Amino acid sequence: MADKPAIDPADTSPDATSSDAAENVDIATDAAGGDAADAVKRERDDYHDRWLRKTAEFDNYRKRIERERREQADQAVTTLLEDLLLIVDDFDRALTVEASGDSDAYRKGVELIHGKLHDLLRKRGVRPIDTLGTDFDPNVHQAVIHEVSPDHREGEIIGELRRGYMIGDRLLRPSMVKVAKA
């Protein structure tokens, strides 16, 4: 490598000033470069942090939407089953009526439809609540009548006016019951 020519400070030629200016810019860039690099790193970290937060927010949004969708589907099924239970109640009442000799075939048809409805409900996880002889539970029973009964203990259910149903572990419809008083 050739030695760098000595520069005379008094020399104002274009070659002398441009090399001095270049050295001054290099020194200024090195000094400011550290600050600029730190600023770029801070900005990068800020963008990375924002990206992580947005990713987490989107994840939470997706989970919330999925949960709401499931709840809406469950509510739709529950509403349909509640309406279907009204028809089951009508069949239950129809089957309690004494049949005359001519209506045996009609009764058999109603019993078949009734059985199919109960099978459908069972397949969907709907089960009736047992009430007669059990203690009154306000979580699953709705007391409609209180009757004095010396033959039964206080709070015992002695009659069922409308059957209640559970779907899984949730109450679909409470039982309407008659409760014994002492």
Q: Is pLDDT larger for residue 51 or for residue 113?
A: 51
- Contact status, residue 133 vs residue 175, Cβ threshold 8 Å: no
Q: Is residue 7 part of a domain?
A: no
Same domain assignment for residues 88 and 134: no
Q: Is residue 46 part of a domain?
A: yes
- Contact status, residue 110 vs residue 141, Cβ threshold 8 Å: no
- Using a pLDDT cut of 70, give the percent of the chain over it: 80
Same domain assignment for residues 78 and 162: no
Average pLDDT score over the chain:
81
Same domain assignment for residues 118 and 132: no
CATH number at residue 158: 2.30.22.10
Residue 16: per-residue pLDDT = 47
Residue 1: per-residue pLDDT = 47
Domain that holds residue 165: 128-182
Model confidence at 149, pLDDT cuts 50, 70, 90, reads confident
- Contact status, residue 162 vs residue 179, Cβ threshold 8 Å: no
Q: Is pLDDT larger for residue 98 or for residue 151?
A: 151
Residue 121: per-residue pLDDT = 85
Residue 55: per-residue pLDDT = 95
What strand order describes the sheet that includes 157-162? Answer: 141-148, 175-181, 157-162
Same domain assignment for residues 137 and 77: no
Instruction: Encode pLDDT of 43-98 as tens digits.
Output: 999 999 999 999 999 999 999 999 999 999 888 888 888 888 888 888 887 777 77
Q: Is pLDDT larger for residue 107 or for residue 148?
A: 148
Same domain assignment for residues 108 and 138: no
pTM exceeds 0.75, yes or no: no
Spatial distance between the Cα atoms of 159 and 176, rounded to a whole number of angstroms: 9
- Contact status, residue 144 vs residue 155, Cβ threshold 8 Å: no
